[in-house]
């Protein structure tokens, strides 16, 4: 009888404790930590200053005088600096007839440099990688690029790979989201995210203005990011992912066609940037932030915004030209990591979020005064590297990332700075020269 009473009282308690243990254990391995990241710095021979840009433009056989003027004006006003990097085919004057080998070589130069460095810095060997996610804008060879990486580094047979193409400038956060989802169902996983920019085989040789613009905007670059959900490694991590939100407006024809790879009138393939692109960016960002804001901002700020918005709407008829209320993102965010899509993109996001020159400096410097320009999906990590090299972070700081991509997509996330470290990046030696933000 005593045994029966013992079981009656203590068995439910045991079950409750076991359930509590499972919840705590599950939450521990569902965390997503960034151990390190490595941005790619091409060799100095591949620098592309404004003078050389003019030479590349003059070499184009299909451009008329008006197109020359348009491109030269855009090259000057785009916000790109004098020391960005171009693929080898531009340097060697072969942009009209690049080879397949040129495209693969562009990828391998990045793979064998940045992946090697990020694994060396963390002490993680290729055999320790459980998941490999690669995203590249417009290159899909066979075997896949992930297979080339596995072959070179002799990774394990049971590694899980994801090879993404066509995701545009927002692909990096999509890859992080894939890793985050895997971490929710698997313990003790190391994941490698690889984000290169592929330009060699995607050069447009025609004279359609909406398509030749891409030749001026994008530059060579890439980043390798090493993530884990291992509790044993969390003290070595530098960032912890708090939340990530993805917005896709592909169902809207206007947004879908605003940024798309297509053919011109005589069949030459290029990347079309439409006049309605700014509108697509604005709408996608608005919908994305509607979901993200409650996740990252304090309740007091959300209540304040709701009250001010109600009053503004109520008094709309009696007010003339009243400013629309804005959420104060600085109430929940310490640093802003903005995609370097161009000077207009950076300025537009800054205005929409009410950011200062200090907040926008990392994106502007990465685009203009530094060496990288718009490197598509990897540009966020160059901006992050700039901020870290300037020693802006302290433990617990929250970093907001936002990017846009063809489709049309807007993806954003929030990281917290997890631990300080001795920083070593492609930015470090140049940071003292970049203390003044350009306007």
Residues belonging to the active site: 169, 248, 335, 339, 368, 374
Q: Which two tokens stand for residue 78?
A: 């785009």
For residue 14, which phi and psi values (nearest 5 degrees)? -60, -45
Rounded Cα–Cα distance for residues 158 and 160 (Å)? 6
Rounded Cα–Cα distance for residues 346 and 339 (Å)? 7
Cβ atoms of 184 and 156 within 8 Å: the answer is no
Q: Which two tokens stand for residue 112?
A: 């064998």
C-alpha to C-alpha distances, 417 to 233, 357, 361, 401, nearest whole angstrom: 15, 22, 19, 13
Residue whose tokens read 């393939």 = 269
Rounded Cα–Cα distance for residues 243 and 245 (Å)? 7
The residue count of the chain comes to: 439
Rounded Cα–Cα distance for residues 107 and 138 (Å)? 12
Rounded Cα–Cα distance for residues 201 and 206 (Å)? 14
Q: Which residues contact 1 (CB under 8 A, 6 or more apart)?
A: none
**Closest C-alpha to 201, from 143, 141, 144, 259:** 141
A 10 A CB-CB count for 235 gives 9
């Amino acid at each position: 009888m005593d045994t029966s009473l013992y079981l009656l009282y203590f068995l439910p308690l045991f079950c409750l404790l076991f359930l509590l243990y499972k919840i705590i254990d599950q939450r521990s391995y569902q965390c997503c930590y960034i151990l390190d990241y490595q941005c790619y710095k091409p060799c100095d021979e591949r620098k592309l200053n404004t003078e050389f840009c003019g030479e590349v433009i003059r070499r184009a056989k299909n451009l008329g005088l008006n197109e020359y003027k348009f491109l030269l004006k855009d090259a000057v006003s785009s916000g790109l600096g004098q020391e960005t990097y171009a693929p080898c085919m531009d340097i060697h004057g072969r942009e009209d007839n690049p080879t397949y080998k040129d495209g693969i070589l562009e990828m391998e130069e990045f793979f064998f440099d940045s992946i090697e460095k990020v694994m060396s810095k963390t002490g993680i060997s290729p055999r320790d990688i459980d998941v490999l996610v690669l995203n590249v804008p417009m290159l899909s060879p066979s075997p896949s690029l992930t297979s080339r990486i596995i072959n070179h580094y002799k990774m394990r047979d049971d590694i899980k790979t994801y090879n993404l193409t066509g995701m545009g400038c927002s692909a990096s956060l999509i890859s992080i989201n894939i890793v985050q989802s895997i971490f929710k169902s698997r313990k003790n996983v190391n994941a490698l995210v690889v984000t290169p920019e592929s330009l060699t085989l995607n050069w447009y040789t025609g004279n359609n203005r909406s398509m030749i613009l891409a030749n001026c905007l994008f530059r060579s670059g890439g980043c390798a990011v090493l993530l884990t959900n291992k509790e044993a490694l969390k003290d070595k991590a530098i960032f912890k992912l708090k939340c990530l939100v993805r917005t896709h407006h592909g169902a809207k024809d206007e947004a879908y066609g605003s940024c798309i790879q297509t053919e011109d009138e005589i069949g030459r393939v290029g990347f079309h940037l439409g006049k309605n692109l700014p509108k697509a960016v604005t709408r996608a960002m608005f919908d994305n932030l509607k979901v993200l804001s409650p996740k990252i901002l304090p309740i007091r700020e959300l209540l304040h915004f709701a009250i001010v918005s109600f009053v503004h709407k109520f008094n709309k008829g009696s007010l003339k030209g009243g400013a629309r209320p804005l959420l104060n993102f600085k109430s929940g965010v310490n640093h802003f990591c903005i995609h370097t899509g161009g000077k207009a993109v950076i300025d537009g996001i800054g205005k929409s979020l009410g950011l200062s020159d200090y907040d926008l400096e990392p994106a502007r410097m990465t685009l203009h005064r530094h060496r990288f320009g718009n490197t598509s999906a990897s540009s966020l990590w160059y901006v992050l590297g700039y901020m870290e090299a300037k020693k802006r972070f302290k433990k617990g700081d929250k970093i907001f990332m936002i990017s846009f991509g063809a489709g049309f997509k807007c993806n954003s996330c929030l990281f917290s700075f997890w631990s300080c470290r001795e920083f070593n990046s492609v930015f470090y030696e140049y940071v003292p020269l970049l203390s003044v933000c350009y306007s």
